[in-house]
Amino acid sequence: MIETAPPLLVIARLVGPSRTARTGTATPSEPADIPCPGESRRPTPPAPVTSPSSTVAPTDHYAENHGFRVPIALHGQSRCDGLALVGRVKNTLEPLRRHGDFAPANVRTALTRLGFAPGKVQTYGNGTSGVGFLIDIGASPWCVEGTMGSDTTKADAFAGYPDGTGCEPPRGGH
């Protein structure tokens, strides 16, 4: 669940008791992330702001036009819940990975044994020695997506996509 302030609180913050002019550019506030159990207390540095390279034409709006494909990050307690869930998924899949069992059906069975509804778990072959998976949790955290290959199992929890397509990566765009 994405944490947002109640609408009236947001309006009060924008209007505020004082009507002094503000200077500078307004930037949206990023929800605060709390340290999660088992996580280092060192704050993670903010992601660098990317700028177009000299090889990209200034009129290229690829990132802008494909922003709908960037998953929504989890914050606060939802982020901690997501990290815990990702840990459970990885621990469940690790025995399969160690034994070289990359059959999508076996990965799906392992994930449904964690309690996920069979209709909400998708698995698919990912190259010659790997499997991908997508789990629609239906609650916060909403989605877990990842891959399992001969070297490692990767997974990430996120809150769906900006255009409301749920856990499925959106197609199309503008």
pLDDT in tens, 49-82: 444 444 555 566 766 665 666 888 999 999 999 9
Instruction: Give the chain's residues under pLDDT 50.
Output: 1-27, 45-54
What pLDDT score was predicted for residue 156? Answer: 95
* Domain membership of residue 122 as a residue range: 76-158
* Structural domain contains residue 97: yes
What pLDDT score was predicted for residue 174? Answer: 55
What pLDDT score was predicted for residue 71? Answer: 86
What pLDDT score was predicted for residue 128? Answer: 74
The 8-class DSSP code of residue 157 comes to: E
Strands 130-136 and 121-125, bridge-based pairing = antiparallel
Q: Which residue in this structure is represented by tokens 């290229």?
A: 60
What pLDDT score was predicted for residue 149? Answer: 95
What pLDDT score was predicted for residue 58? Answer: 53
Tell the burial category of 102 from Cβ atoms under 10 Å away from its Cβ (0-12, 13-18, 19+): buried
What pLDDT score was predicted for residue 173? Answer: 59
pTM equals 0.67
Count how many domains the chain has: 1
What pLDDT score was predicted for residue 5? Answer: 39
The 8-class DSSP code of residue 154 comes to: E
